[in-house]
Chains A and B, each alone.
Chain A
Amino acid sequence: MTALTALFARDARIAIRIGGGAMMGVLFFLTVVTLVPFAVGPDLALLRRIGPAILWLGALLSSLLALDRLFANDHEDGSLDLILMARLPLELVVAAKAFAHWVTTGLPLVVASPVLGLFLNLEPTALSAAGLTLLVGTPALTFIGVIGAALATALRRGGLLLPVLVLPLTVPVLIFGVAATNAAVAGPVPFDTPFTILCALTLMSGVIGPFAAAATLRYGME
């Protein structure tokens, strides 16, 4: 096992063992989705129309939940010092940690989304389109989020700083994620057009996120 897979395995194991990651995210997702019908009323046609947007908003908020601890825990117990001193490129380390975070918190949201979609009266096409766009789009949310997580750790501020910093940056992902899902159901644009842009956003954030977060940690932790 190499150093990076060891780091991935460690982060994933901690997230699963302390139970704060996967289950809390899914429960929060469930809460957000069930709150919406209470707010807008039991109008099935309306819920069906805004369902994809609600799923995406819920997933977006849930994916930010545990993110501020991504580097903060390692900073507090001194692990981050050793990680910064390691012989590995910090960008790869950040990418491995982000991937572990996505597997333990983002992937459960994707798996839960079809069930929650049923609450919103979504038809099967919309359920599968929402699941597919979330599968492709949630990694982008995590990779954008690591920049905020690194900044929050470098500035030694937790709490609301992270969502305030990260949410505006996730707007393009939200737009094209919801647009692709709506396109699959109602058109008029083909599903492929917004979906490929969503894929491109994920690939771009997968490159920019680790580099920006690594630079933040390198210069911010002094």
Chain B
Amino acid sequence: MGAANAKVSEIVAMKLSGHDLACIRGGRRVFRGVGFSIAAGQALVLTGPNGAGKSSLLRLIAGLIRPAEGRIALEGGDPELSVGEQCHYVGHVDPLKPALTVTENLAFWARFLNGAREVDEAGLVERGLEAVGLADLAVLPAGYLSAGQRRRLSLARVLAVPRPIWLLDEPSTALDAASQERLQRVMHAHLSGGGLIIAATHGPLGLAEPEELRLGTPSTGRADSRIARDTDALDATQ
């Protein structure tokens, strides 16, 4: 984590904001008029019922879907890179190949996400696996991992490559108590290093005073997170 924090804190006064965002999936409006703003060291927690658009908002910030209206702005980031290229995205499935070992899976993402940069991948992988408590399973094919272990391997990827913005979709799913505590620790470390976290969640993540953006219920959230009423029962994750 030390290296990742040093890297992140070089980027001073980052500020990520969304203005008047609307999202349409499959011809149906998931949300509209959603806005948020977080600065370096802050976390934003997205809450709301199933289908309220939590995952859609994360994918929108990641650049995987385009907003129907509104825009996302990042101040203080790397001007050469798009917002998505400065984000870590942990979705609801874990991008692991069952035929590859735990080490090979993590080493691939560490290399791939670092791009052309020269990295000490063996060291990164070792530290990443140790940070999530998977060092003992390093040579096991990922196909044999449990759901919680898969999730931890996904989080190891986030730790292995420094990125200032973390987009986490239900990060604590399938994690046991010890791993949830570990997740809290690394999230705190990321925030105190000047990073930003946006997490969609149903339960508490243990973050100290995160901003909350409630999606899916009209006029109960913050003033700028109004939401259309036509969002019932739409699974907006795809």
Interface residues of A (CB under 8 A from B): 1-3, 6-7, 9-10, 13-14, 17-18, 74, 76-79, 81-88, 221-222
- A2–B108 touching, CB < 8 Å: no
- B100–A82 touching, CB < 8 Å: no
Q: How far is the CB of A18 from chain B (nearest CB, A)?
A: 5
Q: Who on chain A is nearest to B119 by CB? A: A1
B111 within 8 A of A: yes
Interface residues of B (CB under 8 A from A): 59, 62-66, 81, 84-85, 87, 89, 91-97, 99-100, 104, 107-109, 111-116, 121
With A14-B97, A18-B99 as given contacts, are A86 and B87 in contact (CB-CB < 8 Å)?
no
Q: Which residues of B contact A3 (CB under 8 A)?
A: 111-116
Q: Which residue from A1, A77, A85 sits with its C-beta under 8 Å from B63?
A: A85
Instruction: Specify the main secondary structure of chain A where it touches its partner.
Output: helix
Q: Which residues of A contact B59 (CB under 8 A)?
A: 81
Apart from A2-B116, A81-B91, A222-B64, list 9 A-B contacts with CB within 8 A.
A3-B115, A6-B107, A74-B95, A76-B93, A78-B94, A81-B64, A84-B64, A85-B62, A87-B85
Bound-complex Cα distance A9 to B170 (A):
31
With A7-B112, A87-B81 as given contacts, are A77 and B94 in contact (CB-CB < 8 Å)?
yes
Bound-complex Cα distance A7 to B107 (A):
11
Q: Which residue from B87, B92, B100 sits with its C-beta under 8 Å from A14?
A: B100
Q: How far is the CB of B121 from chain A (nearest CB, A)?
A: 8
Q: Which residues of A contact B115 (CB under 8 A)?
A: 2-3, 86-88
Bound-complex Cα distance A83 to B111 (A):
12
- B111–A85 touching, CB < 8 Å: no
- B93–A13 touching, CB < 8 Å: no
Q: Who on chain B is nearest to A84 by CB? A: B64
